[in-house]
Amino acid sequence: MQKRKRFVEIEEDNGTVLRYFHHDNGGGLVDSAATVDPDAWIGSSAYVEAGATVHPRARVLTGAWVDRDAVVREDAVIGSCAHVGPHAVVGRGAHLGPRVKVGAGAHVGAGVRLAPDVVVPAGSRIPSQRTGSGRTAA
């Protein structure tokens, strides 16, 4: 059995070389300057860019893209082919459907569920949803 290369290098148009490592849990690509918890799932062909943070038990599904300096909190799910824009935050337990686009600097609150193909405009805020206990999840 052939062993997969531990990293992939991609050269940008300006000549900058980016180095991505395969995440042990799911095999997706994580920039060497990103922080991804070992308990997170990064699906195949998903990308996590430099400066981004993915917390424990978060799931970034196949083909999704977590852009520079974005944050994906605990237990959140980023649907297949979804994009979390630069500096955006996806709250704890939030669920983004397939192909959702979260604009730069936007904030999706804890527990929010977004249907497929929703576009969250740059800089906007979607407030947290209440949990079954009547308390707002943080």
User: Domain range holding 81?
Assistant: 7-124
Q: Is the pTM of this model over 0.75?
A: yes
Specify the pLDDT at position 11.
82
Residue 54 belongs to a domain: yes
pLDDT digits (tens, 9 = 90+) for 3-50: 555 778 888 889 888 889 999 999 999 999 999 999 999 999 999 999
Q: Say yes or no to pLDDT of 51 above 50.
A: yes
**High-pLDDT (> 70) share of the chain, %:** 90
Contacts of 103 (CB under 8 A, 6+ apart): 85, 88, 119, 120, 121, 122, 123, 124
Q: What is the mean pLDDT of the chain?
A: 91
In a domain, 100, yes or no: yes
- Cα–Cα distance measured from residue 114 to residue 119, given in angstroms and rounded to the nearest whole number: 9
**Does residue 136 carry a pLDDT above 50?**
no
Whether the predicted pLDDT of 84 surpasses 90: yes
Tokens of 17: 């070389």
Least confident among 5-9, 37-41, 74-78, 84-88: 5-9
What is the average per-residue pLDDT within 125-133?
77
| CATH number of the structural domain spanning residue 72 | 2.160.10.10
95 inside domain: yes
Whether residue 91 is contained in a domain is answered as: yes
In a domain, 38, yes or no: yes
Question: For residue 135, is pLDDT > 50?
Answer: no
- Report the domain count for the chain: 1
Q: CB neighbours of 16 closer than 8 A, spacing ≥ 6?
A: none
Q: What is the pLDDT of residue 8?
A: 84
**Residue 129 resides in a domain:** no
Residue 65 counted as domain residue: yes
Q: What is the pLDDT of residue 133?
A: 43
